[in-house]
Amino acid sequence: MNPFTQVSSNRSFGGHQKVLRHASRALGCDMNVGVYLPPQAESGRCPVLYWLSGLTCTEQNFVTKAGAQEHAARHGIIVVAPDTSPRGEGVADDPAYDLGQGAGFYVDATTEPWARHYRMHEYVALELPALVEAHLPASPDRRGIFGHSMGGHGALTLALRHPGRYRSVSAFSPIVAPSRVPWGEKAFSAYLGSNREAWKAWDATELVREAKERLPILIDQGDADQFLTRELQPELLRAACEAAGHPLTLRMQPGYDHSYYFIATFMRDHVEHHAAALR
C-alpha cells in the first residue's frame, strides 16, 4: 500500500513537481514532502537528492523559490524536500521562530516535551528514504544531500554521521558549529539537554575530526549574509577540515545574503556537484 497521498502536482521542465503527504512513524504526525520527478523517472529509477530547509521554512520555500527543477530535469535527479519539523495538534511548540515547529534542527530530541515528536534525524536519514525508495522510482544506492542554514547543518551532520549512505553533500550558508553559536545553543539546550558533550554528536566541526569517510564538501556562503558573524562562522569548519585533512570547497560569494535569491543563483553549481557523484 502506497503511504503517500498527493496534495498537488504541477508539470515542470518535462517532469512533475509534487507535494506528497504521509503519516510519519518517527515523528508521530503527518508530514508534507516536496518531490520533483524528472522526465527520466517515467522510464527508470533515478538518483535522489535530499534538500533540508532552514528555520521557519516548510517544503514550499524550496519548491517555489530555489529553481532546482530545471537543473534536476537536465541531470535526471529526483529532488526530495521534506518539511523542517513535525507539526500539528499535540506537537510541542514555542513562540520563538528558532525553536519548535519550523525549527527541528535535524536532531533526535532526548528531553521533554520534545522527545515524543522531534526526531528529524531519524526521519530524514532512515524513514523517509525507505519510503521514497519503496514507492517512487528512486535508486536505493544513489543518494545526495544538501541544505540551507539550519538545513545546511542537517545535511553536513547526516552525511558525516552516516558514512557510505550518501555519495555527495553540499550546503548554502550552513550553521557549521551549532554548539558554539546562539541558534544552536538554544536549540540543543532544549532538545538535547545541558550536557554539552552530547551536543558534539550533532556538530559538523566536531564530527569531521573523526569522520570515517572523506566525502568532499561544497559550501557557498554570501559575505553580506546578516547572520554570518554571529550564527554561521564558516571559518570554524574550514579550520576543522584543514586539521582533519577533510576535502572542503568553501566559496565566499561577494554581496550575497541569506535569502533564496542567493540559493537560486548558485543552485546549478550544487546540482552539478551532486550529479557528478550520483551518475
Q: What is the pLDDT of residue 211?
A: 94
Q: What is the architecture, at CATH level 2, of domain 5-278?
A: 3-Layer(aba) Sandwich (3.40)
Q: What is the pLDDT of residues 219-259, one digit of tens each?
A: 999 999 999 999 999 999 999 999 999 999 999 999 999 99
Q: Quick one: cell of 35? A: 518531490
Domain boundaries, the chain: 5-278
Query: Residues in the chain, how many?
Result: 279
What is the C-alpha separation between 164 and 177, in angstroms, rounded?
23
pLDDT exceeds 90 at position 9: yes
Q: What is the pLDDT of residue 200?
A: 98
What is the C-alpha separation between 65 and 112, in angstroms, rounded?
35
Q: What is the pLDDT of residue 108?
A: 98
pLDDT exceeds 90 at position 275: yes
Tell me if residue 153 is catalytic.
no
Tell me if residue 258 is catalytic.
yes
pLDDT exceeds 90 at position 15: yes
Which member of 121, 148, 153, 258 is catalytic?
258
Tell me if residue 259 is catalytic.
no
pTM exceeds 0.85, yes or no = yes
What is the C-alpha separation between 126 and 76, in angstroms, rounded?
23
User: Please, which pLDDT band fits residue 1 given cuts at 50, 70 and 90?
Assistant: confident
Which member of 220, 225, 270, 273 is catalytic?
225
Q: What is the pLDDT of residues 128-152, one digit of tens each?
A: 999 999 999 999 999 999 999 999 9
What is the C-alpha separation between 51 and 80, in angstroms, rounded?
6
Residues paired with residue 260 on neighbouring β-strands, in sequence order: none
Which member of 12, 24, 53, 149 is catalytic?
149
